[in-house]
């Protein structure tokens, strides 16, 4: 995989395509800048109107910058503080709105026991208007004072919580999501009186249980269906709350050194809010969306969204486009950071809950092979509908049976006129399979042969490692998380985190990609991992011609860390992002340094 990408160390490489009179420029210096994962570092880089103009020695690049300034170009200098700059890292698979929603839920995963639990909720309640629901999630896990699952539920009741937090309804879900603790206010709002004895635990929700004490009073512990009934009483977040939390998600991602994300399952209501937020002047984070939801099986909806971004599909009428993310006019008015990526379809579930569709039964559940969510015919129908609207598909496939179904469908489509016929309507993004976690040996090579892009999340391999062998059996492990075998070139592999399932931290993703190897395979090299996290993700959205490397003419999207992301694996965990530059603009700088002017 991969090869050396030549770079000039000592001479300035110019953007020959640069035409019109430049208006503003950024000079990055005092750092080490890799223009690709395979390039030796250079000293300085000049971006003009958001695009890389040249890079090379400090003297040469600074001289070019001064010449531009003399001609009336506004020049900004970005001091890299000795940091290491690389082509902007992008998360190839995440969920912005789920990340935003997680901020509204109290994280109780490291909670030590009942007392700690109550104090944390009380602290949050202090700053929250009375009557507002408080949600929490994750208690009862590792480190909880009572180790046993039943013990942890039995020793808890609502009394302490209700005393300390009387004015807010509270619902706190256990780590397994099958049990929750509610306080008095929450119980009362569900019509459950914690003071009245003689209640029947099963009548509130037939598919669940309200735990009661010796005289039949609800203890506050709710199981399954009963939990769901109470959760359904919580009012949905307002649009203003959603927007506020999405802006916070944007800031968190930029601060981790990410310049863009692929938002992997975006419904109509989510898209509408994203369109508004991405039009805000300081949004900056590039977002490519893959449409998802019941509306995506409607031809009209797909054509309408496509027309909103790119103008009407040939042969159909539509309103004038909002303007897709593009290179922009090269001036002060930046193009929208929002782009239409394609269409997302789920084919199976996850390995953890044994929902992933396998060819042979689970090793630890001989009667189960998981679940396929579509028939092959229905899948092809949905894929063709997408292609008619010019939308490239991304199929969620985790088990080997789901992956085979995805590959079969793609192979059929490739001989289809919809894909081969009209180049004007053919999507810029490649056909993708998301996760590609478990593959039969004969299917591994089909990714390379067919040119299918695998969107993989290396951190899953580390998180799933404790139970993976037990669930799959030794034989299937050879085709599990086998990233190095899914692509002939790391630039065709798309790395992501699936945030908020895993942390959106790119250094963790890089570290996982470099440390995990399927039996009989090898881990990715540092260069391959970096290439797949930058160029690979840009390419998977159809943007490889202008993103993913810091070549003259490309978008000046740059991630800067306080150490070399190609450095030793055991040092990656100590590095952090210091600067994030999107289209030549400094959009994040670590607080330890002075703020940009």
- Min separation Cβ 411 and Zn ion, Å: 24
According to CB under 5 A, which one of 498, 502, 528, 531 is a site residue for Zn ion? Answer: 498
- Identify whether the C-beta of residue 356 lies closer than 8 Å to the C-beta of residue 437: yes
CB of 258 to Zn ion, least distance (A): 16
181 versus 289: smaller Cβ distance to Zn ion: 289
Do residues 427 and 479 lie in contact, with contact meaning Cβ atoms separated by under 8 Å? no
Residue for token pair 């005092």: 30
Count interface residues toward Zn ion (CB under 5 A). 2
How far apart are the C-alpha atoms of 144 and 123, rounded to whole Å? 20
Q: How are strands ordered across the β-sheet holding 218-224?
A: 105-107, 134-139, 170-174, 179-182, 218-224, 208-212
Q: How far is the CB of 262 from Zn ion (least distance, A)?
A: 10
Least spacing, CB of residue 391 vs Zn ion, in Å: 18
The one segment of 172-180, 200-208, 459-467, 495-503 that binds Zn ion by CB under 5 A: 495-503
Contact track, Zn ion, 232-271, x by CB under 5 A:
--------------------------------x-------
Q: What is the dihedral sign for C-alpha 176, 478, 380, 533?
A: positive
User: Looking at 68-76, 156-164, 303-311, 498-506, which segment touches Zn ion (CB under 5 A)?
Assistant: 498-506
Sorted by sequence, the CB contacts under 8 Å of residue 549 that are 6+ apart come out as 5, 35, 36, 87, 534, 535
**One character per residue 443-482, x = contact with Zn ion (rule: CB under 5 A):** ----------------------------------------
Supply the DSSP string of 459-503, one letter for each residue.
HHHHHHHHHHHHHH-HHHHTTBS-GGGS-SSGGGEEE---BTSS-
Residue 382: its H or E element: helix 376-388
Minimum distance from residue 435 beta carbon to Zn ion (Å): 8
Complex with Zn ion: residue 93 or 551, whichever CB lies closer: 93
- Nearest approach, Cβ of residue 460 and Zn ion (Å): 10
| Rg over CA atoms, the chain | 26
Residue 268: count other Cβ atoms within 10 Å of its Cβ.
15
Q: Which is nearer to Zn ion, 43 or 498 (CB)?
A: 498
Residue closer to Zn ion by CB (options 46, 264) is 264
Q: Which is nearer to Zn ion, 54 or 512 (CB)?
A: 512
With contacts defined by CB under 5 A, name the span among 196-204, 239-247, 493-501, 507-515 that binds Zn ion. 493-501
Nearest to Zn ion of 84, 460 (CB atom): 460
CA distances from 401 to 344, 349, 404, 487, 502 (A): 18, 12, 5, 20, 24
CB of 236 to Zn ion, least distance (A): 21
User: Rule CB under 5 A: which residues touch Zn ion?
Assistant: 264, 498
């Amino acid at each position: 995989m991969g090869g050396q990408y030549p770079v000039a160390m000592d001479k300035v490489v110019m953007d020959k395509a640069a035409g019109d009179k430049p208006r503003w420029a950024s000079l990055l210096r005092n750092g080490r800048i890799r223009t690709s994962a395979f390039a030796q570092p250079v000293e300085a880089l000049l971006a003009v109107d958001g695009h890389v103009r040249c890079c090379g020695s400090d003297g040469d690049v600074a001289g070019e910058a001064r010449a531009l300034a003399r001609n009336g170009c506004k020049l900004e200098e970005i001091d890299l503080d000795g940091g290491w700059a690389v082509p902007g890292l992008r998360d190839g698979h995440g969920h912005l709105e789920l990340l935003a929603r997680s901020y509204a839920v109290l994280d109780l995963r490291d909670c030590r026991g009942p007392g700690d639990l109550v104090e944390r909720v009380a602290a949050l309640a202090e700053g929250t208007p009375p009557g507002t629901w408080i949600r929490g999630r994750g208690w009862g896990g590792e480190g909880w004072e009572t180790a046993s699952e039943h013990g942890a539920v039995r020793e808890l009741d609502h009394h302490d919580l209700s005393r300390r937090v009387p004015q807010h309804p509270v619902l706190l879900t256990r780590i397994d999501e099958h049990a929750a603790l509610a306080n008095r206010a929450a119980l009362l709002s569900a019509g459950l009186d914690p003071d009245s004895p003689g209640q029947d635990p099963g009548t509130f929700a037939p598919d669940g249980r309200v735990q009661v004490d010796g005289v039949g009073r609800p203890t506050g512990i709710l199981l399954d269906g009963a939990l769901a009934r109470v959760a359904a009483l919580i009012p949905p977040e307002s649009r203003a709350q959603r927007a506020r939390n999405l802006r916070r998600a944007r800031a968190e991602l930029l601060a981790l050194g990410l310049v863009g994300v692929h938002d992997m399952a975006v419904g109509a209501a989510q898209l509408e809010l994203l369109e508004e937020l991405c039009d805000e002047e300081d949004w900056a984070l590039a977002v490519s969306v893959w449409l998802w939801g019941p509306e995506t099986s409607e031809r009209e909806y797909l054509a309408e969204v496509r027309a909103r971004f790119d103008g009407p599909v040939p042969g159909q009428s539509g309103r004038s486009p909002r303007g897709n993310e593009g290179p922009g006019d090269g001036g002060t008015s930046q193009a929208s950071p929002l782009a239409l990526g394609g269409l997302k379809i789920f084919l199976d579930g996850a390995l953890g809950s044994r929902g992933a569709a396998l060819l042979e039964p689970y090793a630890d559940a001989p009667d189960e092979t998981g679940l396929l969510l579509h028939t092959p015919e229905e899948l092809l129908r949905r894929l063709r509908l997408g292609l008619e609207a010019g939308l490239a598909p991304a199929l969620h496939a985790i088990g080997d049976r789901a992956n085979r179904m995805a590959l079969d469908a793609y192979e059929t489509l490739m001989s289809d006129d919809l894909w081969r016929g009209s180049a004007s309507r053919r999507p810029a993004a490649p056909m993708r399979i998301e996760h590609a976690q478990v593959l039969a040996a004969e299917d591994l090579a089909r990714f390379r042969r067919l040119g299918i892009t695998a969107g993989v999340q290396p951190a899953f391999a580390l998180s799933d490692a404790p139970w993976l062998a037990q669930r799959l059996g030794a034989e299937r492990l050879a085709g599990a998380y086998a990233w190095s075998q899914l692509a002939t070139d790391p630039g065709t592999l798309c790395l992501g985190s699936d945030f908020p399932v895993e942390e959106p931290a790119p250094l963790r993703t890089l570290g996982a990609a470099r440390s995990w190897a399927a039996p009989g395979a090898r881990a990715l090299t540092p260069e391959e991992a970096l290439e797949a996290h930058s160029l690979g993700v840009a390419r998977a959205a159809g943007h490889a011609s202008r993103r993913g490397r810091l070549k003259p003419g490309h978008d000046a999207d740059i991630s800067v860390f306080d150490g070399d992301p190609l450095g030793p694996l055991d040092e990656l965990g100590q590095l952090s992002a210091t600067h994030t530059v999107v289209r030549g603009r400094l959009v994040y700088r670590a607080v330890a340094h002075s703020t940009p002017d």
